[in-house]
Each structure stands twice: as structure tokens, then as C-alpha cells.
Amino acid sequence: MQHSDNIGRIMGVGGNLVTVEFDLPVVQNEVAYVRLEEQGRHVGLKAEVIRVRGRYADVQVFEPTHGLCVGDKVAFTGELLSVELGPGLLGQVFDGLQNPLDAIAAEHGFFLARGSYYRPLDAQRRWDFTPCARPGERLRAGMPVGHVPEAIFRHAIMVPYGLKGWCTLVSLVEEGAYTIDEVVAVVLDEDRREHEIRLTQHWPVKIPITAYAERLRPTQPMTTKIRIIDTYNPVALGGVYCIPGPFGAGKTVLQQITSRHADVDVVVVAACGERAGEVVETIRTFPELEDPRTGRSLMERTIIICNTSSMPVASREASVYTAVTLAEHYRQMGLKVLLLADSTSRWAQALREMSGRLEEIPGEEAFPAYLESVVAAFYERGGVMRLHTGETGSVTIGGTVSPAGGNFEEPVTQATLKVVGAFLGLSRARSDARRYPAIDPLDSWSHYDGVVDPAQVAEARRLLAQGFEVKQMMQVVGDEGTSLEDYFLYLKAEFLDAVYLQQDAFDPVDGATDADRQRRVFGLVSEILAMDFTMQDKDAAKRFFLALTQTFLDFNRIPMDDEKFEDMERSIRTRCKEAARDA
Amino acid sequence: MHRIFHRIEQIAGNVIMVQADDVAYGELAEVSSPKNSSLAQVIRLERGRVYLQVFGGGRGVATNAKIRFLGHGVRMHFSDSLLGRIFTGGGLPRDKGPALTDALIEVAGPPVNPVKRVVPTRMVRTGIPMIDVFNTLVESQKLPIFSSAGEPYNLLLARIAMQAEVDVIVLAGMGLKHDDYLFFRDMLEEHGALSRAVLFIHTAADPTVECLLAPDIALAVAEAFALKGRRVLCLLTDMTNFCDALKEIANTMEQIPSTRGYPGDLYSQLASRYEKAVDFHGAGSLTVLTVTTMPGDDVTHPVPDNTGYITEGQFYLKGGRIEPFGSLSRLKQLVNDKTRKDHRTVMNVMIQLYAEAREAKEKQAMGFRMNAWDRKLLTYARLFETEMMDLSVNLPLEDALDRGWSILARSFDRQETAIPSALIEEFWPA
């Protein structure tokens, strides 16, 4: 616990909200420690000032509060809630306040212990530092003075993000091995003040890192190897998207698949208020999975922020900010970072719980009135940036939303939809019908450019909508009341759905379709959809499409570099052409 | 050192307020009125004002009641002598056994560190084909039974408790009808399962606040058994009553309600209980099975809805049977490839055919003509419902799989089921 001269006294406790009387000035959102004696040891429970009224500050405590008494001491630190940024973050599992969970487990065993905080980075480890600037050089915040190797990347050691204006590099150490606390460079700022640069720096989580030249428009697609996303509802590098869905529709599975296959450098997983079992699966399986791009373990490019549903609710709120700040740090090195937040609804509920305790006037479904601006500000931290070095880096944010009752008309889904660039809505009907991924192809949308020709996609979308309309009609009027023309629309829509929009996540080939293959196969599918087939009755048409679907599904399981791929592609095309009229 | 205070300034519902100092948040106190006495817990501190929820209820509390603060939170005795005992929701003996006041453990302790959890691998055998075959229960799973009022959910729970191959059963009843309590007790006793069970029973007639304690005490005891290497099954019935008790206290405390009057932290409250389910690396495990009655049979009601987001699947109990559609064990694929090689195939094929049979039934109900295949499906549906789905069917997994093959063979020809030929050769009854 940090030493502090600014000591307040507890005046009230209700849940994790503690009211503190103070004498010296306090700062909104500064960190305070609530002192407590537990089983003979003195601990400080981390807390954050969230409201000041007169001489009383309301602080939210990031730990259970039982045992606190009126009159107990609270130490204000004057520092905003911050994380430590430096080499060694990759591959780690942190809680919402950046405590390394392995260190807690080593000390306390099975259970989390309140008031135990550990340094997120290893202070003993030495990193091989290579300088990349010269004394006398003019630098700005976020520009590198050198780098250290971390996993497959060069972790840039940068001028602190908070430094204003230009500065001059005064001194720089030689190439060599240094710990994170050793000074490697000194810079002189415009006011001629000296600043020491170490391998790490601190940054307040709720303030975006803005040490870049400019924001760019996200234009490049981020391939996820999931066809219904990349082709149909694409996500751009630096874009933001959301995945709402009722329970059991496969939100978390979709996030897990994305975290494996997405074409990015670093993945930050924020398990925010969800099941512990799911994050355990990620923790246990990622070290054994191979990153297809590098051949190294997937864990080496992953950071897990884990604040599961039974962990304290206030740090659940902090966890998404911790995650996005770590993501921004790696973006500053010119890397492509993907942040997956599961689930943003739990974070919104954490806001609601605190708002309720503060007795604020509630908005819709008791969510606070500032819900929308808070959600918007969070998603705005995604983006693609041109850095001062001329490189670009991006943070792509994908958040799941768990709407109450599976109804998308609720405040969190609506607030999120206003700010995202792509909406991947999961549907209960599709997951019940075992159509995976259960993203609704008609309701979902995206403003980003995908990997295939947009004109082709628009045509396929139109056909799908018509075909599904016919399908609905057929449930009322039966096969007999449907014209052959409409019946073909229905069969084509089902074919498109079965062979392209659905994907078998368990099959190594079908489960991950890269951009080249998507362009090629979607071209073939579009060709088939445009054909005018000659079958004279519905039974024959149905038989033809069932058989074609079966063949196509086998085709989906053949790797593109296999010699059978082209044969099969050719035979499918011939077979369709033979059954169709010449255009 | 016990501090005693006298002047109660406010009594509202089950919450009292007293002026006192040096009181800790979450601390217990004994509230003694001339006519009755009860335990109470501190739920809010406000300058000198201390709010307590009275476990025995506000009724009969006198303004001059003696309030003695005990200097600790809720605690419960823990040892093997708990086995075979029955307690109230507050942890006092309900049977004629002695009160246990030593070897105390903390109730509602800290959460498990996620990195100390392991991916579960062992199945819990229940002898109920609809669970074992189709939605296998896995050790350390947390799973609710969603059911409307009037369904035999307690019977199902009791059957699972008796048959599950676990070391210890901990049952918490919340708002239980007295008849149901006696039913549980007698059933466990008859089947000789009472000696490995501990019961914490809050009946509908008991004060509401005790309803909040029952699951916490039960889970604390269950967790302690699991830490000693036991495989524990914790049954909680009915969680909707627990949530209603939460609602009652929240409203008394003038908290702002979110949906349908439930407090905004309902999700966190439920999660902190359900997440006690765990498989400890190097110790035992704790499986949590609960009953959640759905008011108005509505799964979007806040209680089942929040529960569904927390638990690892759900069993729907409808019309006295576990519904094959909608019921889901999210963890089943972790174990059902290690049981028998035909398990997954039987599971998939029987459900797909039953789905088809249901369509045939609808067709029949609408008066369409039945073709030969439809008639086969109808036969199949009848056999499946009576010999497999019925709650009275009680078979080990292997026998249930054999029965599945027998039902298929009596309904269809061997090439009609789309089962891989190799399995047909091996398992199709002659």
C-alpha cells in the first residue's frame, strides 16, 4: 500500500460503496486505499473516488467490504487508476486491476485474497535493449528510443505518452540487458525539465492514449476466416463491432474462434463478468494451440483480462478499460491489436449497480442516463492511427452484448448499435436449428469493406431475403401453393446458407476459410445462384440441390492446395451448367 | 467484547436501524426482544446509524430490544458430523441433534482464483437417460432445472441426489413447502442417502431473510467438503424464492429496482452463488444443481433469464418430462466421447428423429394423410416417450444406450436411421 498524507475517515458503508470524510483536497477518480486489519495482517482495499459532495467523497471499493467500520482510515493517493505498460504483458492472465492471477495463486492458493496487489511485470527479468535514437534527436510522446524483444515482436520503448510537445533526447544507454526499472534514456522537454525513460510507464486506464499523428478511416478488412463475417458482415482493422445474442446462441464460442483465427498481431481478451469455466478453457487451451501465422503458441500473442462474474463488480467495470489501455499500448508499436470484450452487458450492469448505490436518477431499465456516452466513449478507443513514426497501428474492438430476454430493444444493445460499424446479431432460431455460426444473415449489417466484390454480396443478400420469404410463405401454403420459380429461390437461398454462411468450426479446413478461398468459392456460389435451372418439377429440383449441397460440403473440407480442389470445383461448375439453361 | 445497544430508531419490514458505533459492515448481531430473539446482519452503515436485516423477521421486535454485536460475520460449523443432519436456513438444528458451535468456517467466502480451476472431465451419473445420454451432467457443472410451478421438479432433484455417484449431498431448500421438506427427508432416508447428506431447510413459513442465508451456508459447507477432496453435489431449490427474498430486502432498503422490481445486482448476486461450482486442482469438486421456477412459464422473466447467462446449460422440465429441445448441458462434449463409442451417435440420431416425429405429429393433428414413414415416426415417438423420457425410467447409461438401439430397431429398418454402418453392425439388435 502506498504511503499517503491525505487520510480520510469512513462515514458510511453500503455494498461496495463507501462514503469518506476528507480534510485535504481529493481528485475525482483518484485511487484510495481503505485500510483494514484482516487475520492479523494490515491490508488496503483499492478503491476509486467516484463522487464528491461537500466534505464527503464516495468511493467504490474494488473488493468485498465486509468488516469495514465507521471511522476506519482511507488513504488517498492522488493518482488515477492506472496500469503499467511495458515488456512482459503478453501471455499473462490478469484480473481487472492488472493483478497477475498466477502470482496471487502462488501466494494464496485456491482463493482470491482481498487487498493483495502484485506488480503486473517481472521486476527481476532483464530485457535486451537495443537503442534506436541518437542523443540530440527531437522526439515526441510515443516515439521510440529503443526496443526489446518480446515474443515475436519488438516491444518499443517510447517517450512517455503523457509528455507534451517536443523533447530532446539527452542521453541513451548502450545496447545491453536491463530490468524494467532501470533508466535507459533521459529527455529534456520544452520547459527544459528532465524526464527519465524506463522500460515501463504508467497510464490511467480511463483516458485514451493519444500519442499519435492522426486517426485514419478503417478501410482494410480484418479477416477472421469466418465466412459470414468476412464476406457478409466484414469488420475492418481498427473498426468496432458488436455481437448481441441471447444465452446459448454462441457468443463466447464465436469470440473464441475469432481470437484464434483473426489476422492480427496481438489479441487482448477481456472476460468481463462471464463464466469462469469459459475463460479457464482459454487459459488452458491457448498455450497448446499453435498460431497458424507464426508457428508459436497462441498464448504468446494473447493477454487475458479475467474478471469473471463472481469477482468484485467494481473491478469488472475497470477491466474493460484495463484491457483497452493494454491494447492501445501495443497499437503504439505499429501492431494490429484485437480487443474482444465478453460481455459488455456485464460491464453496463456494473455501471447500473454503482449508479443505484449512488441513488442517481435511473434511466431506462434502471441503467444510468450516461450509459450511452460511456459506451460510445469506450468504442471510440478503437481505430486505426498513423503514428509519429509514420507506421500505422490499429485497435479493433469486438464486444458481445447479452440482452435481457434476448430482446435487442434494450438499452445496452441500442446504445452499442449507435456507435459500432458492424452488427453481428446472433439469433436463437438459427442456433436452435443448429445453423452455426448463428449470426442472422438478414438482420446483421456492416459499414466496412469486405474481402469479396460488394456487388456480388448485394446480389446474394437480395436472393437470400427473397428465398427466406418464400420459405415463410411455404409454411403457410405448403409446397403445392408455391410456384416453381419461387421454389428455386427458396432452394438457392437454402443452398447459399448451407454451403457458405454456415461453417463447421470443428473441421480444420472448413472451420477457417482465408480471404483468397472466400473470393474464389463465393465467386462459384454466385455463379450458381445466377443460373437458370431447367428442372421441370419441385422433386427433381430438390433432389438436385440436396445432392449439390452434399458435394459442396465435401468440397468445403478439401484444402485449397490439394489437387482435388480444382477437379471438384470444375465438376461442380459443369454439373450446374448441364442442369441450367444457357444464359 | 460484546457491545450492547438498546434504542432501535426504525423498524421497516425486516430491517431495523439502531444508533451504534464501532460496528463492522457485514457483522452479525443478536436482537433480543422481550418475546423473541433473532440474529441480524449489518447491511448498511451511515454515520452512526446501523441498518440490520433481522433473520427472524421484523415482527415482534421491540424498540427497546437489546442488540448485541457479535464481532464476526455469518459462520457455520464444519466437520463430518454435519452428515445426516438437518438445519434451518440459518444453520440451527431442525432435527433433534445437538447445536454445533465449534470449528466454524466463514460463509460467503472469497471467489476461486480462475487460474486454479481445471477443465472438468468426469461425468456425474444420474440414472436418468434424458440426462445421462442426451445432456450429460459433468462434475463441477452449474445447472438449473427450469420449470413451471406444479411440475415434479423436487422429485427430479431428489432422484438425482439419491442416484448421483457423489460423496456428499448438500441440499438447501428456500421457501420450501413443509410437505416437500418431509418428502426430501423421507426419500433420502428410505434410500439410505441421508447419511451422506446435509440439509439446510428454509420453509415457506420461516422468515424471509433466512431464505437468503440458506444457499450461502449450504455452499460454504459444500465448498469445505470439496476442499477436503470430496465430490460434492449441492442442490438448491428454489432459486426464484431466493431472488424474491432479495427483491423484498432491496425494496425495503429503498434501492432503485431494475426489471420487474428486482434489484440491479441480481446477476451478480446469482453469479456469486453459482460460480461456487468448481473442480479444484488437487482436491474435490462441487457440482451445483438448482431449481428455478419460471413465473408464468416465461423464460425471459429476470430470474431464469439472468440464470441462463450464468449457468452452463439448463434442463427444461415440461409436462413431467425433461424436454429434449431447449435442454442443454454445455459441458457434455467434455465427457460424452469417453463413455461408449456409440454415445454421441445415439444422442444425435435419436433427437433428430424425435424432431421429425414431432413434425409428423403436427401433421397428424392438422388432419394430413400419414405416409408409411410418418407412421414409423409416430411409433418411434411413442416408444421414445414412454421408455426413455418418462421420469420413472431408471437405467445406467450403458443400459439406456442399449434401450435406445432397441427403440430404434423396433421403429425403423436399419438403413433408415442415417447411422454410420460400422456402428449399425456392432450395435443394431438382431
Domain A85-101+213-446 class? Answer: alpha beta
- Average the pLDDT over A33-56 and give the result: 90
Cα separation, A241 vs A338, in Å, equals 11
Residues facing residue A156 across a β-bridge: A147
* Residue B112 to residue A276, Cβ atoms within 8 A: yes
Ordered by start, the domain boundaries in chain A are 6-81, 85-101+213-446, 127-199, 454-581
Q: Quote the cell numbers at residue B86.
A: 438437518
Where in chain B do CATH 2.40.10.170 domains reside? Answer: 3-69
Give the angle subtended at the CA of B142 by the CAs of B192 and B233, to the nearest 5°. 20
> Looking at A193-197, A277-281, A450-454, which range is the least confident one?
A277-281
Instruction: Tell me whether 0.90 is exceeded by the ipTM.
Output: no
A144-148, B94-98, B219-223: least confidently modelled range: B94-98
Within 10 A of A506 (CB to CB), how many other CB atoms are there? 9
Cell numbers describing residue A440: 442472422
Say if CB B159 and CB B125 are below 8 A apart.
no
Q: Quick check: B368 pLDDT over 80? A: no
Instruction: Please give the grid coordinates belonging to residue A310.
Output: 463472481
Average pLDDT over residues A38-47: 86
Residues of chain A in contact with residue B313, where contact means CB-CB under 8 angstroms, are 248
Spatial distance between the Cα atoms of A448 and A461, rounded to a whole number of angstroms: 16
Query: How much of chain B exceeds pLDDT 90, in percent?
Result: 67
Pair A340, A268: CB distance under 8 Å? yes
What are the backbone angles phi and psi of residue A332, rounded to the nearest 5°?
A: -65, -15
Q: Do A110 and B23 touch (CB under 8 A)?
A: no
CATH class given for the domain over A6-81: mainly beta
CA–CA distance, A439 with A425 (Å, rounded to integer): 5
Q: Quote the CA–CA distance of B330 and B213 in Å, as a whole number.
A: 29
pLDDT reading at B369 higher than 80 = no
Rounded CA-CA distance B147/B129 in Å is 19
pLDDT mean over A386-412:
93
pLDDT in tens, B203-256: 999 988 899 999 999 999 999 999 999 999 999 999 999 999 999 999 988 888
**Tens-digit pLDDT profile for residues B325-362:** 888 898 998 898 899 999 998 998 898 899 889 888 98
Residues of B in contact with A13 (CB under 8 A): 25, 44-45
Q: Which of A11, A101, A432 sits opposite B47 (nearest CB)?
A: A11
Helix %, strand %, coil % for chain A, to 5? Answer: 35, 30, 40
User: Is the CB of residue A49 less than 8 Å from the CB of residue A61?
Assistant: no
Instruction: Give the residues across from B263 on adjacent strands.
Output: B257
Report yes or no: A176 and A129 within 8 Å, Cβ to Cβ: yes
DSSP assignment string, A209-277: ---SSEEE---SB---S-HIIIIIS--BTT-EEEEE--TTSSHHHHHHHHHHH-S-SEEEEEEESS-HH
Grid cell 431495523 in the structure block, residue: B16
Cα separation, A95 vs A120, in Å, equals: 10
pLDDT tens digit sequence for B249-292 = 999 888 888 888 999 889 999 999 999 999 998 899 999 999 99
The per-residue DSSP string of B285-305 comes to EEEEEEEEE-GGG-TTSHHHH
**Residues A238, A221 contacting (CB under 8 angstroms):** no
Count CB-CB contacts under 10 A for residue A235.
Answer: 29
Torsion angles phi and psi, residue A509, rounded to 5: -85, -55
Separation CA A243–CA A413 (nearest Å): 9
* β-sheet bridge partners, residue B32: B37, B66
DSSP readout, B7-26? -EEEEETTEEEEE-SS-BTT
Work out how many CB contacts closer than 8 A connect A with B. Answer: 171
Nearest to A93 among B23, B115, B258 (CB): B115
Q: What chain A residue is nearest to B74 in terms of C-alpha separation?
A: A66
- Output the pLDDT for position A3: 64
Q: List residues bridging with B46 in a β-sheet.
A: A12, B49
Give residue A2's pLDDT band: very low, low, confident or very high (50, 70, 90).
low
Average pLDDT over residues A181-196: 95
Decide if B261 contacts B316 (C-beta within 8 A). Answer: no
Q: Write down the H helix ranges in A406-499.
A: 411-417, 428-432, 454-477, 484-496
CB contact under 8 A, A309 and B271: yes
The predicted model gives A239-258 an average pLDDT of 89
Residues of chain B with CATH 3.40.50.12240: 75-333
Confidence of residue A583 (pLDDT cuts 50, 70, 90): low
Q: Is A308 touching B (CB cutoff 8 A)?
A: yes
CA-based nearest distance B342→chain A, Å: 19
CA distance A470 to chain B (A): 20
What does pLDDT average to over chain B? 91
Band of pLDDT at residue A289, cut at 50, 70 and 90: confident
Are A273 and B267 a contacting pair at CB < 8 A?
Answer: yes
Q: Could you say which DSSP state residue B238 is in?
A: -
Residue B367 has pLDDT above 60, yes or no: yes
Q: Is the pLDDT of residue A1 over 60?
A: no
Q: Is residue B108 a contact partner of residue B216, using CB atoms and an 8 Å limit?
A: yes
Residue count (chain A): 583
* CATH of the domain spanning B3-69: 2.40.10.170
CA distance linking residue A272 with residue A252, whole number of Å: 11
Window A:331-390, CB contacts with B under 8 Å = 346, 349, 352-353, 355-356, 359, 362, 365-367
* Reported confidence tier of residue A208, pLDDT bands at 50, 70, 90: very high
> Between residues A285 and A522, which one has the greater pLDDT?
A522
A310 touches chain B (CB under 8 A): yes
Chain A: closest CA distance from residue B47 (Å): 5
Average pLDDT over residues B121-148: 94
Assess A74–B contact: CB distance below 8 Å, yes or no.
no
**Tally of CB atoms within 10 A around B59:** 14
Domain A127-199 bears CATH identifier 3.40.50.11890: no
Gap between the Cα atoms of B428 and B13, Å rounded: 65
With 80 as the cut, is the pLDDT of residue A40 above it? no
The topology (CATH level 3) of A454-581 is 1.10.1140
Give the C-alpha separation, B199 to B83, whole Å. Answer: 9
CA A98, CA A85: separation in Å to the nearest integer? 10
Residue of chain B nearest A12, judged by CA positions:
B46
- Cross-chain Cβ contact A104/B113 below 8 Å: yes
d(CA A101, CA A488): 57
Count Cβ atoms below 10 Å from residue B190 Cβ, excluding itself.
10
* Secondary structure (DSSP) of B163-220: HS--SEEEEEEEEE-HHHHHHHHHHHHHTT-GGGEEEEEEETTS-HHHHHHHHHHHHH
Give the list of residues 6+ apart from residue B384 with CB closer than 8 angstroms, or none.
B350, B354, B357, B407
- Contacts A352 to B, Cβ<8 Å: 258, 264
pLDDT tens, residue by residue, A302-328: 999 999 998 988 899 999 999 999 999
CA distance A253 to B350: 25
Residue A337 DSSP symbol? E
Using an 8 Å CB-CB cutoff, list chain B residues near A276: 112, 114, 117, 275, 278
Q: What is the pLDDT of residues A466-502, one digit of tens each?
A: 999 998 888 777 677 889 999 999 999 999 999 999 9
Give the residue on B whose Cα is nearest the Cα of A275.
B310
The closest of B290, B262, B264 to B276, measured between CA atoms, is B290
Which H or E run contains B239?
helix B239-252
Distance CA A58, CA A13 (A): 10
For an interface test with B, give the residue of A35, A45, A247 to mutate (most B CBs within 10 A): A247
Task: State the CATH class of domain B75-333.
Answer: alpha beta
- Residue B1: pLDDT over 60: no
Q: Does the pLDDT value for residue B100 go beyond 70?
A: yes
pLDDT tier at B141 (50, 70, 90 boundaries)?
very high
Run of H or E including A284: helix A276-285
Are the Cβ atoms of A310 and B271 closer than 8 angstroms?
yes
pLDDT value at A55 more than 80: yes
- b/e per residue A328-349 (b: at least 16 CB within 10 A): bbbbbbbbbbbbbbbbbbbbbb
